[in-house]
């Protein structure tokens, strides 16, 4: 009786493994960029109920980056927003004017260096500068944060006051220029009819 039991269990495991291996066959391809600087890559996988992103180097899995219910949009699951030498920005987007939530991932460890709820404003990959808001829906007491990837230092700056009378506050701001001493943003207000620029000292 025992050999028959073992055979049945083995057969079930085999079918289960095969189903999991082929479970992504009916999904759309994950068509975001998956190649990272330094030989790292993003790996998309799915099982019967969930879909996953993993950070890998070669065949080694460093960490599971994210998971969502199977069939959800891949931009919800995450995609690479910026790639630096030792770090990259993982973005989660939900559309309808919502903020783009971000994580700053250290490639060697897979650790996220930012707190939960941090939202994207802009990036300069040449200067290796990331601009974000620590609050996904900022108010007048909140600040923008400029993060220098090269030095791992960050500094807070006031938002343009005009955006606080508008919805989609963070979507109104664009990082347009970065130098060693300054950075410049462009922002829109008055129902998207007025655009201004503002330069900050670093």
pLDDT > 50? residue 52: yes
pLDDT > 60? residue 6: no
- Give me the chain's average pLDDT, please: 90
pLDDT > 80? residue 49: yes
- pLDDT > 90: what percent of the chain? 86
pLDDT of residue 25: 61
What value, to the nearest 5°, has the Cα angle with vertex 83 and ends 77 and 88? 55
pLDDT of residue 104: 99
Instruction: Please compute the mean of the pLDDT values over residues 143-148 and round it to a whole number.
Output: 99
Confidence band for 37, pLDDT divided at 50, 70 and 90: very high
What sign does the dihedral 51-56-61-62 (CA atoms) show? negative
pLDDT > 80? residue 115: yes
Distance between alpha carbon 121 and the CA centroid of its chain, in Å? Answer: 12
pLDDT of residue 27: 86
- pLDDT > 70: what percent of the chain? 88
Instruction: Please compute the mean of the pLDDT values over residues 71-90 and round it to a whole number.
Output: 98
Q: DSSP string spanning the chain?
A: -HHHHHHHHHHHHHHHHHHHHTTTTTSPP--S--B-TTSEEEEEEE-SSEEEEEEEETTEEEEEEEEEETTS-HHHH-EEEEE-SSEEEEEE---TT---EEEEEETTT--B-S-TT-EEEEEETTTTEEEEESSSS--TT-EEEEEETTTTEEEEEEPPGGGGGSSSTGGGEEEEEE-SSEEEEEEEETTTTEEEEEEEE-
Task: Write down the residue that tokens 């005009």 correspond to.
Answer: 162
How far apart (Å, rounded) are the C-alpha atoms in residues 157 and 131?
10
CA dist 8 to 21, 59, 137, Å?
20, 32, 55
pLDDT > 50? residue 34: yes
Q: What is the pLDDT of residues 166-177, one digit of tens each?
A: 999 999 999 999
pTM of the model: 0.85
Query: What backbone phi and psi angles, to 5 degrees, belong to 192?
Result: 70, 20
Domain boundaries of the chain, sorted by first residue: 1-113, 121-202
Q: What is the pLDDT of residues 146-173, one digit of tens each?
A: 999 999 999 999 999 999 999 999 999 9
Asked if residue 125 lies in contact with residue 82, where contact means CB atoms within 8 angstroms, the answer is yes
Q: What is the pLDDT of residues 8-32, one digit of tens each?
A: 433 343 444 443 334 456 789 999 9
């Amino acid at each position: 009786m025992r050999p028959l039991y073992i055979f049945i269990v083995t057969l079930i495991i085999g079918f289960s493994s095969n189903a999991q291996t082929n479970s992504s066959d009916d999904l759309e391809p994950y068509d975001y960029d998956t190649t990272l600087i330094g030989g790292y890559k993003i790996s998309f996988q799915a099982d019967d109920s969930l879909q996953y992103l993993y950070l890998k180097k070669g065949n080694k899995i460093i960490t599971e980056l994210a998971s969502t219910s199977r069939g959800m949009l891949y931009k919800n699951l995450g995609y690479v927003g910026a790639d630096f030498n030792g770090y990259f920005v993982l973005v989660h987007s939900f559309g309808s004017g919502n903020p783009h939530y971000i994580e700053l991932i250290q490639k060697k460890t897979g650790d996220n260096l930012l707190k939960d709820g941090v939202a994207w404003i802009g990036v300069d990959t040449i200067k290796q500068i990331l601009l974000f808001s620590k609050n996904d829906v900022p108010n007048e007491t909140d600040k923008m944060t400029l993060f220098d990837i090269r030095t791992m230092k960050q500094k807070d700056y006031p938002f343009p006051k005009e955006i606080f009378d508008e919805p989609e506050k963070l979507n109104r701001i664009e990082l347009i220029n970065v130098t060693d001493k300054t950075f410049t943003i462009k922002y829109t207000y008055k129902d998207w009819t007025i655009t201004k620029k503002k330069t900050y000292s670093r």
